[in-house]
Homo-oligomer: A and B are copies of this chain.
Amino acid sequence: MTISDVAAHAGVSPASVSRVLNGRRSVDPEIVRRVQASIAALGYAPSMVARSLVHGRNTTVAMVVPDLENPLFQGILKGLSLAAAGDGYRVLVADTAERVDDEETTAIEARQRCDALVLCAPRMPEAGLRRLVERVAPVVVVNRPLPDLDVPIIGVDYVRGIRDLVDHLVGLGHRHLAYVTGPETSASNAERLRGVEEALALHPEVRIDRIPGGSRPEDGEAVAIAVVDAHRGGVTAVIAFNDLVALGLLARLRELGVDVPGELSVAGFDDVPMARYATPRLTSMSVPRAEIGAQVWARLRTLMAGGPVEHSVLYRPRLEVRESTAVRAAAGARP
């Protein structure tokens, strides 16, 4: 069923059908009527593919993520998807299932199907990422600083976020903290660690231990024993790599009989939707997921329109104080 069938049925030329389809105003109302009738009668639907070939674009963009189950990417995807839809674009998702080795191939393949690409690749080695980025333009990168590269980057200021979080904890009287690290190769973990360093420099009286963790709730549970040990060693507040880890940690700490925040304060990062329903409600650094998605779209759209590489943006996470962090108990207050 093609545009010619409709044309034949309506007794006009394919061009006229095309005009009607595209709402060109310079068409005799009578023809418009006939064409529309034929379209309805035949149940015709235009081929977006053919149209794409002519126009040289898809009105589809791809987003590559390491894991669709991560609330951070979900939120960004949602924001991107909604913003793009506002301009008639759709989003194709490519989940690399955390397989860093497949990321480049996947990204290139996804890009070929679409007009532009959004890259979330927190673990890809920087050199490879740089090479890739040059190859798949127009592209916007999420959460990866790439100095001197001509690409819009929408990110989160993890360094500052961690500093602010440490400030909060220090303000509550804590002097001996612990940071449960994320995945070794995670770029945002590296930034958080820089945040830790900067906080240390700013607060000479403070100590921050590192406890190897991960990025999922299971990792948070697994690290609970180590956290308890650290607590025995004097740690009174712990910052988890992200909320998922914090939530897992919280669950396990409760089972281990640790009172949060009475004995130990716990904070997360990302402010996932569930953070505020945890027990106790989790203090976290909020990240504007949907807004990031929308900004990604804005950059992408400009790029696709042949516009300049717009300014990158770094969102400063906002502290959401809830119940899981509290003033340090007076020394010796613990039974």
Contact = CB atoms under 8 A, between A and B. Distances in A.
Interface of A: 45-50, 52-53, 58, 60, 62, 68-69, 74-75, 77-78, 81-82, 85, 90-95, 97, 110, 112-113, 217, 247-248, 250-251, 254, 273-274, 276-279, 281
B82 A95 contact: yes
Contact of A91 (B45, B82, B92, B247): B92
A92 B95 contact: no
Contact of A68 (B74, B110, B112): B74
B273 A69 contact: yes
Contacts of A50: 53
A93 B81 contact: yes
A48 B60 CA distance: 13
Nearest to A275: B274
B69 A78 contact: yes
A274 B282 CA distance: 14
Query: Which 10 pairs between the two chains have the least Cβ-Cβ distance?
Result: A279-B279, A251-B277, A68-B78, A92-B92, A49-B52, A247-B277, A274-B274, A48-B112, A48-B113, A49-B53
17 contacts: A46-B112, A49-B53, A53-B53, A60-B92, A60-B113, A68-B74, A68-B77, A81-B94, A85-B94, A90-B92, A91-B93, A93-B93, A217-B276, A247-B274, A251-B276, A251-B277, A278-B278
Majority DSSP secondary structure for residues of A touching B? helix
Count of chain copies = 2
A60 to B, nearest CB: 7
A91 B90 CA distance: 11
A77 B49 contact: no
A53 B48 CA distance: 9
A78 B92 contact: no
A251 B280 CA distance: 8
A225 to B, nearest CB: 17
Chain B CB count within 10 A is highest, among A62, A75, A113, A274, for: A274
Given A68-B81, A90-B113, 15 more contacts: A45-B112, A48-B112, A49-B49, A49-B58, A50-B53, A52-B52, A53-B53, A60-B113, A69-B78, A81-B95, A82-B95, A90-B93, A217-B277, A247-B277, A274-B274
